[in-house]
Structure 1
Amino acid sequence: MSGEQRAPITDVHAHLLLPALQAEVERRAPEAFAQAQALEARRNGPESMAASGRMIGERFPRLTDLGARLAAMDEQGVERQWVSPSPSHFYPWAEEQLAVWIASEANRLIAEHVAGAPDRLSGLGLVPLQHPSRILELVDDAVLGRGLAGIEISSFAGDVELSDPRLEPLWTRVEELGAIVFLHPFGCSLDERLDRFYLSNTVGQPVENAVALSHLIFAGVLDRHPGLRLVAAHGGGYLPTAIGRSDHAWRVRPEAHGCVDAPSSYLRRLWFDTVVHDPAGLRHLIEVVGAERVLLGSDFPFDMGPDDPVGFVRSARLEEQVEAAVLGGNASALLAQAVRS
């Protein structure tokens, strides 16, 4: 890369916890909030709930405080972060008025946080996925009103899957704006089957990623919206590893033929972070989706991401140009396209 300016090392998967927002949600809807917390406890089990509570307590400054965030980034060698709300703030059970307020307030708080270090932070906002008729105003609030780079969405919300025709206006609008869409699940529809051994996360999150991406692919969303800039957390979950099964179904099953091309081809129209946990997995992801489609991620500052995300990428022993692209070049190009659009 001699003679070229190096792109900043960029972590596209980093979160902000919003405790004041959570407290207000609980105040406004105490019964629904309590029911959602009880469901979360059942899905995760008491052992995982206790461990997660301790972990969040230990990492609370990095989840909330700008100075602690920047210091941690310096320690990691990360020069830029894309900051999104903790997925615990999706609140898919929230009724319409409350859900719109939550998204608007989250957008305001994210914008306020990243404005403290605009040369190092970019923000992603929220939309009320469970209320499709209200999404567009919150996309515009995030991108046009708050100057955020895009939005973060879950893998589903209530009865709304990402293949739902009611979301067509969402895909059209973010494509028009050039906004980034960061797909990050929260919870898992397998519920209490995963309530031990932290399976709710280790198995549940990759399942949710794979299901959500499959809805987008098989429903033809990516055919209708080829300019969609969607980044999948956790390396896309299980899908890149098992995409051959999807291709086979597309060839032999008529009900799996809703997309124009083989499902594997669509992986090269998406982007994926590096939270795959082993170097061989990262090399395989790059082989399947292409070196230009993989972005450094850490799940900052949660314990299920690498504390040394840059070191993790370097441990994969990629070619020099590929490593540079994954560490920052790809993210910088994607963000620049979003800003220009």
Structure 2
Amino acid sequence: MAVTGSVRAGVIDVHAHWLPRELLSLPPGSPLGGMSDRDGELYLGDNPLFLATTAMTDIDVLVADTLKAGLGARAVSAPPFAFPVHVPSEADDYIKAYNDRLAEAVSSTDGILVGLGLTRVDNVDAAHREMTRLTAMGGVAGVAVPPLVQGQSYGEGVMREVLAAAADTGLAVLVHPMQLPRPEWKDHYLANLIGNLVETTTAVASLILSGAMEELPDLRICFVHGGGCAPSLVGRWEHGWHARADVRRGSARPPAEVFTRLYFDTITHDPEVLGLLAAHAARDRILCGSDYPFDMAQPDPVRFLLDNGLDTATLEANGRRFLGIESRA
């Protein structure tokens, strides 16, 4: 499956967020309650998110900010609070509503925005049905999913089958952490500053060491925030794979080799870490990311990459390949 219609030329930011106002209520079971606008500022429950509500909800504002950032296009997905993971069996209506509104919104932007929809990850039949529906939506390129759900990741069970469904339908997969709480991370925003990266790293390891990536050669999957801690750990995984039978039990290929098949965005906030990512990942698997419009976003994503050895032609080609974009405006 590929995105139909023209997508604006230039660097593509694959990691940005959008949620229409009518869906700020979030899917059933959200532990913090819904999102809301308070005097122009966006809140999650009673917690301020320190961003203007319109930056998340107004498609015209998002388009204007995309152009201001010097990007060709952006792939937009729901914020992780909107992932349907708490009571997924009751979330089908929310998922359908979001995906319908997403397709409608991106189709109005003259190729500036591409959509990454929602899907369940607890039921492969439901996931496959919704993914199949997404393939008929011209401006939607894939889905955004969490890295962990109730202690499970993509190495086994239903979540592994969901990735197979994505590969089968030709949809790209963006894996975005959910800032899961832990007692030791209750202060200093550590659930984000550490937790998000640990969630992503766990999913990368699960996908590589389980052999799931080897079974799905057509899967296009991207891990955000530079892959979390994974670039600094792939050497340790490689050593463990060669040293221990239990580490290599699920996979036939060494971790460093499989790592080069994964896509990663560039939100590292550190040129040295970006260099480490580039040393381990394949050059054609590195994607521009911003995390717009959150406070942890890379404010000038294109300049950050150009100043640190990446070029616009490669970044554009990589983004198009990941999203399955065939035509160019």
Spell out, residue by residue over 1:174-221, the C-alpha distance to the aligned partner (whole angstroms, 9 max, x if none). 223321000111122x61211111111010011011001111111110
> 1:204 is matched with which residue?
195
Please tell me whether residue 65 in structure 1 is matched to residue 58 in structure 2. yes
| TM-aligned CA distance change 1:103 to 1:54, over 3 Å | closer
AA aligned to 1:9 is V
Q: Tell me, yes or no, if the aligned pair for 1:240 and 1:288 is still in contact at 8 Å.
A: yes
Please tell me whether residue 328 in structure 1 is matched to residue 316 in structure 2. yes
More helix by share: 1
Distance (Å, rounded) in 1 between the aligned partners of 2:44 and 2:24: 17
Distance (Å, rounded) in 2 between the aligned partners of 1:333 and 1:133: 27
Q: Secondary structure at the match of 1:311?
A: helix
Q: Secondary structure at the match of 1:255?
A: coil
**1:1-341 correspondence to structure 2 within 5 Å:** 7-23=9-25, 25=27, 29=28, 32-33=29-30, 36-37=31-32, 53-56=48-51, 59-96=52-89, 98-145=90-137, 147-188=139-180, 191-257=182-248, 258-316=250-308, 318=309, 322-336=310-324
| TM-aligned CA distance change 1:51 to 1:280, over 3 Å | farther
Distance (Å, rounded) in 2 between the aligned partners of 1:325 and 1:233: 21
Shift of 1:233: 0.7
Shift of 1:49: 7.8
Distance (Å, rounded) in 1 between the aligned partners of 2:302 and 2:263: 18
Distance (Å, rounded) in 1 between the aligned partners of 2:205 and 2:136: 30
Distance (Å, rounded) in 1 between the aligned partners of 2:325 and 2:170: 7
Q: Secondary structure at the match of 2:291?
A: coil
Q: Secondary structure at the match of 1:106?
A: helix
For the aligned residues, what is the CA RMSD?
2.4
* TM-score normalized by the length of structure 1: 0.84
Aligned residues: 310
Distance (Å, rounded) in 2 between the aligned partners of 1:140 and 1:61: 31
Q: Tell me, yes or no, if the aligned pair for 2:84 and 2:119 is still in contact at 8 Å.
A: no
Q: Tell me, yes or no, if the aligned pair for 1:124 and 1:150 is still in contact at 8 Å.
A: yes
Q: Tell me, yes or no, if the aligned pair for 1:18 and 1:85 is still in contact at 8 Å.
A: no
Shift of 1:75: 1.4
| TM-aligned CA distance change 1:51 to 1:103, over 3 Å | closer
Shift of 1:154: 0.3
Q: Tell me, yes or no, if the aligned pair for 1:129 and 1:160 is still in contact at 8 Å.
A: no
* Alignment gaps of 5+ in structure 2: 1-7, 34-42
Distance (Å, rounded) in 2 between the aligned partners of 1:265 and 1:170: 23
| TM-aligned CA distance change 1:103 to 1:121, over 3 Å | same
Q: Tell me, yes or no, if the aligned pair for 2:32 and 2:44 is still in contact at 8 Å.
A: no
Spell out, residue by residue over 1:94-113, the C-alpha distance to the aligned partner (whole angstroms, 9 max, x if none). 141x2222221221121121
Q: Tell me, yes or no, if the aligned pair for 2:15 and 2:265 is still in contact at 8 Å.
A: yes
> 1:42 is matched with which residue?
none
Distance (Å, rounded) in 1 between the aligned partners of 2:299 and 2:93: 33
Distance (Å, rounded) in 2 between the aligned partners of 1:269 and 1:338: 20
Q: Secondary structure at the match of 2:140?
A: coil
State the 4+ residue runs in structure 1 displaced beyond 3 angstroms.
48-52, 336-339
* TM-score normalized by the length of structure 2: 0.87
* Alignment gaps of 5+ in structure 1: 1-5, 39-47
AA aligned to 2:77 is S
AA aligned to 1:22 is L
Q: Tell me, yes or no, if the aligned pair for 2:18 and 2:77 is still in contact at 8 Å.
A: yes
